[in-house]
Structure formats: C-alpha cells, structure tokens
Structure 1
Amino acid sequence: MSASTCPRYEVVVVGGGPAGLTTALYTTRLGHRTAVFEGEGGRHATVNHVHNVLGISPDVSGRELASHALEQVETYGGDIYLDIVENIDTVEGDYPFRLEAAHATVESKRVVLATGFRDHSPDVPGLREFTGRGLYYCLHCDAYALGDGSVYVLGHDDDAAHAAMTMLNFTDDVDLLLDGRDPQWDDDTDEQLRAHPIERVEPKVVETYTADADDDRFGGLTFTDGTTRDYLGGFAMYGMTYNTALAESLECDLTDDGAIDVDERRETSVKGVYAVGDVTHGQNQTAIAIGDGAYAGIAINKDIRRFPLSLETIDSLNAPGSDTSDSSFTAPGSSPQLRARMRRMQDRTTNPGLRGPPPNR
C-alpha cells in the first residue's frame, strides 16, 4: 500500500489494555486523530474481577472494562482496529511511522506501545483453568480474596519465597510449593524464610481437583507422593516476559530486566515512540497503567498540538515574504471532524435526554 492511500493518524496506540486506551482517550479528547490496534483482547481482558480501581465495582471484569473503554474512545472520535500490528517501519515525511497489521496498514506521527507482558504459567495439569478463581499472579490484587484461607505459593526463587512470607499478613496457613525443583533463593532469603511459619512442600504437583463433585470451585492439589492438600487458592511466581518485539524492531532501549525504557513523559529512546503500562515496569496494576496512559496522552498533546506557536514559528511568520495564509497556522488547531464530535458531546452533556451516535467523521 502506498503512503498516499494509507489512513493517517497523529497518534496510533498498539494495545487495548488500560494504559493504551487511556492514552487514546486523552489524545482523542485533546483533538488528535487517534487509532487503537487491539487484536487479542490483551492480558487484562482475562481478569475476572477488577480490583483497586476507585469507583469500579469488583463485579466488573477486565473484558467488560475494556469494552466500555473502547466504546468511550470511539464515542470521542478515535478509530478502533480489531487487528494485530505485525510490523512498524520508519518512513520519510510528516508521518514517520508505518504500522502494518494483518488487515490494515496506517501511518502515524506518534506511536504508543502498550503491549504488556506474559506471565509464565505453572506446569500443573488443569491449574490454568482456575486462573482468577484459584490461581493468581498478583498479590496486590488478590491477596485480599484469600484472607484466612489455606494458601499455596508455587515457585522456587526469591520472588516466590518473599511472596509466601508476604501472605502471612493475610493468613497463618501458607505452603511454599517447590514442585520438585531445588530452591534458587540466596542464603539470606533462606534464613529469613526458615524464621517464618511456612511449610515447604517439595514433591511435584501432578493435578488439581475441585471442591467436590457438584462444585467446580478450586479445591486443591495432588502431589507425586500421593498426598493431597486443600487450598482456597494461591499464586504462581515464575516470572514474566515483556512483549517488546515491536520496540526492539524500532531499536528502542530496554531496561536491565527487559522492559521498555521510558522517561518521565513515557517516551522511549526513539523520538516519537512512547510506551505505557506493564511493558515498561511490570507493576501489574490497572490504576498505575491508567496513570501511565494519562501521562503519555498529555505529553503527546504538548508535543504535537498546533498552539501556542513557538517564538521560532512566530519569527518565521513575521519574516519578509512568509506565507501567513498557510493552513497549518489556522485556528482552531483540531480537525473539523473532531470538533463536530465535540459539539455533539456538548449537546449530550447539556441535554441528557439526547441519544444517538456522534456524527460520522
């Protein structure tokens, strides 16, 4: 597809999780033509209950939150591509990034990578089926749900040991499951762990079972020595892999642990490329991801908005022979299509009884 026939945007966001959609919401509402690419629903869409987000009921799932956020972005004028970006190239011109997805190619002035990370799941038959209802990955999100219960922590490194010790703040019944592997924590962690009332279980885990024959809730785990242990739930601590393939193809710098390195504006080492959310820090928190998206959206707006004109631009406009009719210096500084959306939303705000979709772009 030639550059002249590609849809062009000021901002393209790759990833439809809380961070990416918040960036898109900000840039769209700040008057920039914005698109979001989301092909698989993302890791956040697998969350059964959204926690730690002020004003959001825990009855809301990650998929429901994402669906509502996508609708918001569209309502304000953003474009949604249910597609996976496979490649990003740099090209000459005012739109220096060309993004190629399975079913679309677009060009953009700015790119935002919100590609997240992948948890390393435990190799226990049947356990992944209990993700979000017996198998968890984030103590900050789900320790509350396991208070006063019998809890397992699967893992054999420092992170697993510290997670097990941390869970003692919520319950006095914590098992650290080595799953047939040798511990990899250091001597200090080993000494610290032995001082805590945690049972270390060495045999390999071979299967899961439900609470009873008529109840599909998580019940517990079976081990190679034939023993079984009932649990309310627990955590797998096997690390993560950051989804940085697109960032690496653009030669963005990474941190020592493999995340995309960004500054306080959430811009990468490559000018015009931003990154937000878990792919930059792995904090695994919706609220932090939303904050990242807001930071990036505001920073991008300051970077590419038309007004206020810089002193250098004003000097060039005042220079003898300059073309003061150049449309790039005409107010308002956002497109007629987006301003039509703004007027429609203003009408809906002042007249709550008004219904119907915003005007077409």
Structure 2
Amino acid sequence: MSASDEQRYDVAVVGGGPAGLTTALYGARLGHETVLIDRGGGRAAMMADTHNVIGVTEETSGNEFLATAREQVASYGGDFERGFVESIERTDDGEDGDDRFRLVAGDDEFSAKRVVLATGFSDKRPDPPLPRTGKGLHYCLHCDAYMFVDEPVYVMGHGEAAAHVAMIMLNVTDDVDLLTRGAEPTWSDETAAQLEAHPIEVVREEVTGVENDPDSGWLEALEFADGTRREYRGGFPMYGSDYNTALAESLGCDLTDDGTIDVDDHGRTSVDGVFAVGDVTPGHNQIPVAMGQGAKAGLAIHKEIREFPRAKEAIARDGSVSDDEVPAISPELLATAVAHEGHAGGPRESPSTEPEAAADDD
C-alpha cells in the first residue's frame, strides 16, 4: 500500500478505554484530525456498573459508558475504527519534513503525526471454578470494595499482593478469608507475621464449586476440596497483570521496573511523538485517573502540533500569517464544529466542503 492509500491523521489513538477516548475527544475538539483504533474488550467493558465517576450513575454499565463516549468523540469529528493494531513504525513522509507514524491494522493503514498508546493491561485470571465476573469476581479493589461493606468476602492468591489486599479489606468488613487454593504462600516472613496479627483466616483448600443466586446470578458460596462450604458475597483474585506494551517496545519506548510504559506528567514517552495513557502507564487504575491522563496528553499534543502562534523562526523563514491560512482547522472539522449543538449561538448550517458547482450556461 502506498503512502497515498493511507488514511492520514494528525493524531492516532490505539485503545478505546476511558483514557484513549478522552485523548481522542480532546484531539477532535481542538481541531486535529483524529482517529481512534480499538480492538474491543478491555477492563472498562467488563464493568457491570460504573463506580467513582462523578456525573455517571452506578447503574451505567461499562459498555454503556464507552458507547456514549464513542458517540461524543464522533460528534466532534473524530473517527472510530474497529481493529487490532499489529505494528507501528516511524516514517519520513511528512509533507512538512517532520516524521510521521504508520499504523497497520489488518488490511488498513493509518498515518499520523502523533501516536497515543492506550493499550491497557489484562488481569491474570485464576483457574476455574470461579464466580461470575462482576457478580462475585472483581478485579478493582478501589472500585468495588464499597459493594461489600459488612459482607463476607474472599481474596484469592498466594503472594504479597493477596495478603495485603486481604488486610485492606478489613477496612470495610470484619469477615475476610484468604484463599490460596492449594498453592504454597510466597509472601515474606514479615508479611506472614503482619497477616497473623489481623483477623483473617487463610484457607488452603482448592475451590471445587461455586453457588450462585438463581435469580440475580450473584455469588452465594464457594465449595472446597475438604467438603466445606463458605458463604461469600464477592472477592478479588490477586494474580498480577500483563501490560500490553508490545507496540511501545517495538517503538523503543522505555518501560518502568514494574513493566508499565515510562511517561512524563503529560503522557510523553521516551520516544518523540509517542504518548501513553491509562492503565498501561504507572499509577492508579481508575477511570477518573485515566480520563485525566487522556486530557493532559490531548492538551500536550495540541500544543506541539497546532499551527499558531507561528514560531519566530518560521515567521523569519516563511513570512507573516496570511488571511487565507486561517483558521487552521480542516474544512471537515470546521463544518462539524459550526453544526454542533455546543457551537456558540447554537448549531447552524454547515459550510459546504464540496467544490462549488459550475454555473449553468443556460
């Protein structure tokens, strides 16, 4: 495929979770041709309910939340493509002499001035039998602990994280079991002593069965290899995460010691032109945090690639800005903006982006 066949953009966002969608929203609203490429799924899509997001009520599912966000991005002229980005490489075909990036997703190719990686991570799931995800099996402690205030809960795992999360859950309930599922604990002696000082029962037997409420589907109890049955309303598996950093590594981006993409306070990676936001970067795995990261990256990108103010060096080389060079927004995004319900004075008819028809000779 030649460069002319590529779909050309200012900003290409890889990953359609809250961080990627927010970056794309800022890109489109700030006047940059923006595409978001998403393979689907992700942590947010698994949410049965949305927690800790001001203005979004609890009964909103993750899929509803994401669908609304995609509609918002599209309303401002951002493009949405369903696909899996297999590779990204730097090219030197920028019209202004600057490097660009070529993204390949199946049969589609995209070219962009800036790339944003919002590829997230995947939680490691324990072996079945397991409760239903979102109805007894939960991965986000700070999102879902509130659901189990004063209820019996479990924590699955045999490492440091599992031991500490079990102790943390005592802040909201007095009934916490730590399930090692037959594995030998790997937490330190210091953590073992700390754990023994807290009212937590360590259950070493393997889980052999799950009982769910027949109407709601919510967890009621777990069955164990020794024949015992223990009632729980929910819990947290703590087996670690796999960060989706393959694209970042292929571009040469630095990673942190814990495997996340190393970024500055505005999402810039160690590679010029490449940004990363959301769960694939260090920090709290929370929707509001991801949205904030997306906003900061979107603003940083805007400041890097906006046309004006023209730099003093460029003015000396190219002269003053002429009337026909402004506004810098593309005709397509201009038309979208003036027709948008959020436009000053209300929406008005979009200016045509098509060439004017030739006058009739008759």
Q: Please indicate, yes or no, whether the TM-score normalized by the shorter chain is above 0.5.
A: yes
How many angstroms apart in 1 are the aligned matches of 2:168 and 2:342? 51
Which residue of the partner structure matches residue 194 of structure 2? 192
Indicate the residue corresponding to 2:35 in structure 1: 35
Residue in structure 1 matched with residue 244 of structure 2 by the alignment: 243
TM-superposed CA distance for 1:262, in Å, is 0.7
Identical counterparts, % of pairs: 52
- Decide whether the 8 Å contact of 1:120 with 1:241 is kept in 2: yes
Q: Which residue of 1 aligns with 2:302?
A: 301
CA offset digits 1:244-274 (Å, max 9, x no partner): 1111111111100100111112011110010
Aligned pairs for 1:182-221 within 5 A:
182-211=184-213, 216-221=217-222
| Residue 121, structure 1, aligned to residue 116, structure 2 | no
1:333 aligns with 2:328: yes
Task: Indicate how the Cα distance of structure 1 residues 46 and 312 shifts in structure 2: closer, same or farther if over 3 A, else same.
Answer: same
User: How far apart are residue 83 of structure 1 and its match?
Assistant: 1.2
Task: Give the drift of 1:350.
Answer: 3.8
Structure 2 CA distance for aligned equivalents of residues 287 and 116 of structure 1: 15
- Could you say what secondary structure the match of 2:86 adopts? strand
SS in 2 for 1:216: coil
In structure 1, how many angstroms separate the alpha carbons of the residues matched to 2:196 and 2:291? 39
Aligned positions of 1:125-274 closer than 5 A: 125-127=129-131, 130-211=132-213, 216-274=217-275
Deviations for 1:208-264, whole angstroms, at most 9, x for unmatched residues? 1113x5553211111111111110111111110100111111111110010011111
Counterparts of 1:131 and 1:340 in 2: how far apart (Å)? 43
Counterpart position of 1:345: 340
User: TM-score of the superposition, structure 1-length normalised?
Assistant: 0.92
Cα–Cα, structure 1 residues 114 and 236, in superposed 2: closer, same or farther, change >3 Å?
Answer: same
AA in 2 matched with 1:268: T
Give the Cα separation in 2 of the matches to 1:357 and 1:135: 49
Q: Is the 8 A contact 1:146 1:232 kept in 2?
A: yes
Report what 2:359 is aligned to.
Answer: none
Residues 117 and 282 of structure 1 are in contact (CA less than 8 Å); yes or no, is this contact kept in structure 2?
no
Report if aligned partners of 1:84, 1:101 keep a CA contact under 8 Å in 2: yes
Cα deviation code 1:114-161 (max 9, x no counterpart): 00000011113243xx11110111110000000110010001111111
1:357 CA drift (Å):
11
Amino acid at match of 1:97: F
The secondary structure found in structure 2 opposite 1:54 is coil
Conserved 8 A contact 2:179-2:203: yes
CA RMSD in angstroms, aligned pairs only:
2.2
Distance across 2 between alignment mates of 1:230 and 1:89: 52
Q: Tell me the number of residue pairs that the alignment of Structure 1 and Structure 2 aligns.
A: 350
Corresponding residue of 1:321: none
Q: Tell me the CA shift for residue 41 of structure 1.
A: 3.1
Structure 1 letter corresponding to 2:33:
R
1:135–1:359 distance in 2 versus 1, CA, 3 Å: farther
Question: Partners in 1 of 2:127 and 2:31 — Cα distance?
Answer: 47
Pairing 1:65-144 to 2, within 5 Å after superposition: 65-94=65-94, 96-127=100-131, 130-144=132-146
Code of the aligned partner of 1:82: R
2:179 counterpart letter in structure 1? L
Instruction: Supply the AA of the counterpart residue of 1:305.
Output: R
Offset from partner CA, 1:282-311 (integer Å, 9 cap, x none): 622000000000000000000000011112
CA contact (8 A) 1:205 1:224 kept: yes
For the Cα contact (< 8 Å) 1:207–1:221, is it kept in 2? yes
Q: Give the Cα separation in 1 of the matches to 2:215 and 2:235.
A: 22
Aligned to 2:358: none
TM-score by length of 2: 0.91
Q: Structure 1 residues 17 and 3 mapped into 2: Cα distance closer, same or farther (>3 Å)?
A: same
Tell me if the contact between 2:268 and 2:276 (Cα under 8 Å) persists in the aligned partners: yes
Q: Which runs of 5+ in 2 are unaligned?
A: 355-362
* Rounded Cα–Cα distance in structure 2 between residues aligned with 1:360 and 1:297: 26
Shift of 1:204: 1.2
CA distance in 2, matches of 1:238, 1:138: 13
- 1:131 to 1:346, Cα distance in 2 relative to 1, 3 A: closer
> C-alpha displacement at 1:17, in angstroms?
0.3
CA distance in 2, matches of 1:286, 1:118: 15
Change (3 A) 1:347 1:296: closer
Residues 325 and 210 (structure 1), Cα distance of their counterparts in 2 relative to 1, 3 Å cut: closer
CA 1:359–1:190 in 2, change beyond 3 Å: closer, same or farther? farther
